[in-house]
């Protein structure tokens, strides 16, 4: 059977539609004007594009964005002070820092400074700790996107073998925890894994996120597996994922394409986090 290509754009559209209804509810009933502050330090073409897409998505669902652009030479102290001011600003509901940041900026201090209640990236140690304890509230957006795609496809992770090829703080580690929270058996590979094949071959759900175009071929996968391709690489032939789509066709049951798979759902997932914040704030009013 030909591999079914999962349409991430459609899933993102449906999430944004649901979130718009909820945002309109907060606007009408609680007179809130949802506002996300985005902090960008210096220039980075791919993250600039990501931020542009995210701001566009916010606009679509009725969230205002307050963009703060710093020169690459800004000091750590100035960025930290800006975050403290935003934490105290009641008109700002969410704060997002666009990574990567210049080398002289300590990103862990920035992650720690954002109020956990305004952390729409779910990267504050408090929120990551809650996720680890199985009490998911604000969770990192790409792992959330993977979970939303699996939910959309009605794939229950209970008892499934999941293999993730990535152990970064933003993708692999929180995603592994979120799969464990859903009772999967999880393998996490990284650059030191001697041979990924034994792990990929037993995966009912395979989630590569290396940024190496075409790394995963038919030789790596199990028949009828689900592949959620997180990797993104700019090649001379355009944007490519980690999966060689032609090679896995007819073997994998379902596959997310790149582009048009996890990417749009990741952007929609940051809006889910924003709605979580608004819900939390209105409950405490």
Q: How far is the CB of 216 from ligand NAP (least distance, A)?
A: 10
Residues engaged in binding ligand NAP (CB under 6 A): 142, 165-168, 170-172, 189-193, 196, 209-212, 230-233, 262-263, 266
Q: How far is the CB of 46 from ligand NAP (least distance, A)?
A: 7
Nearer to ligand NAP, 82 or 172 (CB): 172
Q: How far is the CB of 281 from ligand NAP (least distance, A)?
A: 27
Residue entry with tokens 């004007």? 33
The dihedrals phi and psi of 193, each to the nearest 5 degrees, come to -65, 125
CA quadruple 203, 207, 212, 217: dihedral positive or negative?
positive
Q: How far is the CB of 109 from ligand NAP (least distance, A)?
A: 19
| Selection from 124, 131, 233 nearest residue 175 by Cα | 131
Rounded to an integer, what distance in angstroms lies between the CA atom of residue 246 and that of residue 166? 23
Q: How far is the CB of 178 from ligand NAP (least distance, A)?
A: 15
Nearer to ligand NAP, 82 or 270 (CB): 270
List CB contacts of 125: < 8 A, sequence separation 6 or more: 111, 112
| 163: β partners | 187, 206
Nearer to ligand NAP, 94 or 208 (CB): 208
Tokens of residue 36, six digits: 């996300």
Nearer to ligand NAP, 80 or 233 (CB): 233
| Selection from 282, 260, 283, 270 nearest residue 60 by Cα | 270
| Residue number of the CB atom closest to ligand NAP | 211
Nearer to ligand NAP, 26 or 148 (CB): 148
């Amino acid at each position: 059977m030909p591999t079914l290509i999962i349409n991430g754009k459609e899933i993102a559209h449906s999430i944004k539609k649901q979130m718009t209804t909820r945002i309109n509810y907060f606007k009408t009933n609680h007179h809130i004007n949802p506002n996300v502050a985005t902090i960008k330090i210096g220039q980075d073409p791919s993250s600039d594009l990501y931020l542009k897409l995210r701001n566009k998505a916010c606009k679509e669902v009725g969230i205002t964005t307050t963009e703060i652009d710093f020169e690459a030479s800004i000091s750590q102290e100035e960025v930290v002070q800006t975050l403290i001011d935003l934490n105290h600003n009641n008109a700002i509901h969410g704060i997002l820092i666009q990574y990567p940041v210049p080398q002289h900026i300590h990103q862990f201090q920035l992650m720690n400074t954002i109020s956990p209640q305004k952390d729409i990236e779910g990267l504050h140690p408090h929120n990551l700790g809650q996720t680890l304890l199985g009490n998911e509230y604000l969770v990192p957006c790409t792992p959330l996107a993977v979970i939303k795609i699996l939910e959309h496809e009605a794939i229950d992770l209970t008892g499934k073998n999941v293999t993730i090829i990535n152990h970064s703080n933003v993708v692999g580690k929180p995603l592994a925890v979120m799969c464990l929270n859903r009772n999967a058996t999880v393998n996490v590979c990284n650059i030191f894994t001697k041979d990924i094949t034994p792990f990929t071959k037993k995966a009912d759900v395979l989630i590569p996120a290396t940024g190496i175009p075409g790394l995963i071929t038919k030789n790596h996968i199990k028949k009828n597996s689900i592949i959620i391709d997180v990797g993104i690489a700019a090649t001379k032939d355009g944007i490519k994922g980690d999966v060689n789509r032609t090679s896995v066709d007819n073997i994998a049951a379902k596959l997310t394409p790149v582009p048009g798979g996890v990417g749009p759902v990741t952007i929609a997932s940051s809006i889910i986090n924003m709605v979580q914040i608004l819900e939390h704030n209105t409950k405490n009013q």
